[in-house]
Amino acid sequence: MVVTAQRSAKPSFFTPEAIQVLKSKTIQSRQLRSSPEALSALPGLFVQKTNHGGGSPFLRGLTGNQTLLLIDGIRLNNATFRYGPNQYFNTLDLFSLEKIEALRGGGSVQYGSDALGGTVQAFSRSLELSEKADLGGGVYLRGATQGMEQTARAELQHRTRRTAFGAGITWRSFGDLVGGDTTGRQNPSGYREFDIDLKGKIALSKTTTLSLAHQNVRQNEVPVFHKVQLENFAINQFEPQRRVLSYARLEQSLNRGIWKSMSVTTSLHKTEEGRESRKNGSSILRIENDQVRSLGANAQITNVFGKKWSSNSGVEVYHDLVNSTRIDLNQNTGEVTSKRGLYPDNATMLSLAAYTLHEFDLKHWNFTAGVRWNTFAIQVEDETIGAAKLSPSALVGNAAVLYKLNRQSNVFVSTNSGFRTPNIDDLGTLGIVDFRFETPNYDLKPERSINFQLGYKLKTNRLQGEFYLYRNELRNLITRIKQDTQTMQGYPLYQKENAEKAYVQGLETAWTFDFAPNWSAEGTITYTYGQNLTAKEPMRRIPPVFGRLALEFKPAAWSFGAEVFAAGKQDRLAKGDTEDNRIPKGGTPGWRVLNLHAGYQWRFLQVQLTALNLFDVDYRTHGSGVNGYGRSVFATLGLRF
DSSP three-state, residue 424: helix
pLDDT digits (tens, 9 = 90+) for 586-638: 999 999 999 999 999 999 999 999 999 999 999 999 999 999 999 999 999 99
**CATH numbers and ranges of domains, the chain:** 12-488+502-640 (2.40.170.20)
Rounded (5°) CA angle 221-226-232: 95
Are 170 and 194 spatial neighbours (Cβ–Cβ below 8 Å)? yes
Is pLDDT of 435 > 80?
Answer: no
- The 10s digit of each residue's pLDDT in 448-486 is 999 999 999 999 999 999 999 999 999 999 988 888 777
Q: How far is CA 446 from CA 148, 481, 538, 579, in A?
A: 42, 17, 22, 27
Confidence of residue 199 (pLDDT cuts 50, 70, 90): very high
Nearest Cα residue to 542 out of 554, 557, 551, 531: 531
Per-residue pLDDT at 330? 98
pLDDT at residue 153 tops 90: yes
115 exposed, middle or buried (CB, 10 Å; 0-12, 13-18, 19+)? buried
The CA distance from 413 to 454, in Å, is: 5
CA distance 536 to 502: 9
Q: Where are the beta strands (DSSP E) in 305-423?
A: 309-330, 336-340, 347-361, 365-382, 386-390, 393-406, 409-420
Q: Taking residues 481-507, report their average pLDDT.
A: 87
pLDDT at 286: 97
| Residue-level pLDDT at 434 | 65
- The answer to whether residues 499 and 481 touch, using CB atoms and an 8 Å cutoff, is yes
Average pLDDT on 177-195 reads 97
Q: Are 474 and 449 in contact (CB under 8 A)?
A: yes
Is the model's pLDDT at 386 over the cut of 80? Answer: no
pLDDT at 496 over 90: no
Q: Residue 48 pLDDT more than 80?
A: yes
pLDDT value of residue 366: 97
